[in-house]
Amino acid sequence: MQPIRVLIVDDSGFFRKRIHDLVAKDDRLIVVGSASNGREAVAKCKQLKPDVVTMDVEMPDMNGIDAVQIIMRDSPTSILMLSSLTRQGANITLKALEAGASDFLTKDIRNWTSTSNLVHNEFTERLVKLGRRRRFEQTSSDQSMSRPSLSRRPTPTSSPTHGRIGGPSVNDGISAQRAITAKGAMMNADNRKDDRSVLQSANHSGAAGSGQQTRAALAVRQAAGNTAAFPSQCRLVVIGASTGGPAALQKILSELPAQFPYPIILVQHMPKAFTNVFAARLNQQCSITVKEAEDGDNLRPGTAYLAPGGHQLVVDPRRPDRVRVLESDERVTYRPSVDITYASAAKALGNRVHAIILTGMGADGADGARLLKKAGATIWAQNKESCTIYGMPQAIVKSGLADEVLDLNAIGGLLSRAGRR
């Protein structure tokens, strides 16, 4: 396979060199050019046709937002935004993601100059994933055009549905994050149990029952259209997402009526400085109320509670109508973690939970979904065609835990109709 072609865009000579050096160490990647501002980036995207672009947010002459808008209009490609951990940086980054940028990474000088390989590996792994996704989109488009008799599944209405804030380490093999038990879901907020207790070995037999369906059966239901089953006993909707999640969440939530009859918990991988800004933007864009969750919040219908970055959000096992926001052990890979929230919901509400897993890199949510399925909950997964990165949904689908596999375009409408029953 040919290396992923990378264009580096940054007004800092230090960062351009640092990114170049990191990319040069990975045989899967190759630098095809660099630019010091957005205007140069637009021209070089047309000229060089990279698979992925690293884009600084704040630059002279033309900033990252304007550059993203023009690139996605004239020569669309995957774009990884690099942003400072400030409120202003969060606002600008969110606007860039809404304009079509694919992913996001914080520009913390301490991490970028560190000798640790963690941030470096995460950075290059994201470039590879996004570059391959771009090639997949191009191949799918070429095949569709060459075979007009084959209908192509609809993709999200934004162009494309990209956007991701913060996110997981790409070390999907971290054993602590790949295993989870109901014991961890019972984290007692009073004594602040170490949330690593959630990340222990799961009972894989919990996938038995209606969750173990063949991929063929799921494909039949997916092709059938808007017929996905919604649990009549539902009391809580829990949605997990990572890469591509901000745009996907915006699309789904903006389709819900103000009087949506269920509370919603949102777990989106993103850093602490961004969740409050993201919740405020969603609240402006949606009819339902969206807020960053606070410890002790009561779960109210028509309100979505976004897990704060750097913390864990759990459903209180003693009062299932309330959430707890817990300090997270820094050794836990995902902060917030879909697995931890799913597990707590399974313990507190069992089959009264409706879970949705959206686009994202890695497998966060798969083990929590196993506990949800064992408790009788219903699980929907986003399909590959509409995902920015088909990682988290794929892990659940391959484990036989998804009741439905749905295009992003269908999920909001299905939830809205279920809410009118």
Which string of b and e fits 90-127 if b means at least 16 CB within 10 Å?
A: bbbbbbbbbbbbbbbbbbeeeebeeeeeebbebbbbbb
Mean pLDDT of 61-68: 90
Residue of 129 and 210 predicted with greater confidence:
129
pLDDT tens-digit readout, 96-122 = 999 999 988 888 777 777 766 767 788
DSSP result, 314-353: EE-SS-TTBEEEEE--TTSS-SS-HHHHHHHHHHHHGGGE
pLDDT tens-digit readout, 398-415 = 999 999 999 999 999 999
Mean pLDDT of 282-301: 97
- The domain limits of the chain are 4-143, 182-419
pLDDT of residue 157: 34
Fold: same for 4-143 and 182-419? yes
Inter-residue contact 382 to 411 (CB < 8 Å): yes
Active site residues: 242, 269, 364
Q: Which residues in 181-248 belong to E strands, given as ranges?
A: 236-241
pTM score? 0.80
Peptide bond into 160 cis (omega under 30): yes
Residue 420, pLDDT above cutoff 80: no
Cα–Cα distance between 419 and 421 in angstroms, integer? 6
Region of 400 please: left (phi>0), alpha (psi -120 to 50) or beta. left
Residue of 368 and 232 predicted with greater confidence:
368
Name the class of domain 182-419.
alpha beta
DSSP 8-state secondary structure symbol assigned to residue 177: T
Inter-residue contact 100 to 355 (CB < 8 Å): no
| 141 band by pLDDT with thresholds 50, 70 and 90 | low
Parallel/antiparallel/unpaired status of strands 103-106 and 78-83: parallel
Residue 144, pLDDT above cutoff 90: no
| 192 band by pLDDT with thresholds 50, 70 and 90 | very low
CATH code of the domain occupying 4-143: 3.40.50.2300
Cα–Cα distance between 314 and 307 in angstroms, integer? 9
pLDDT of residue 120: 78
Residues 6+ apart with CB under 8 A from 143: 150
Other CB atoms within a 10 A radius of the CB of residue 294 amount to 12
Q: Which residues in 253-337 belong to E strands, given as ranges?
A: 264-268, 289-292, 303-306, 311-315, 323-327
pLDDT of residue 145: 54
**Per DSSP, what are the bridge partners of residue 265?**
238, 305
pLDDT of residue 321: 96
Mean pLDDT of 40-68: 93
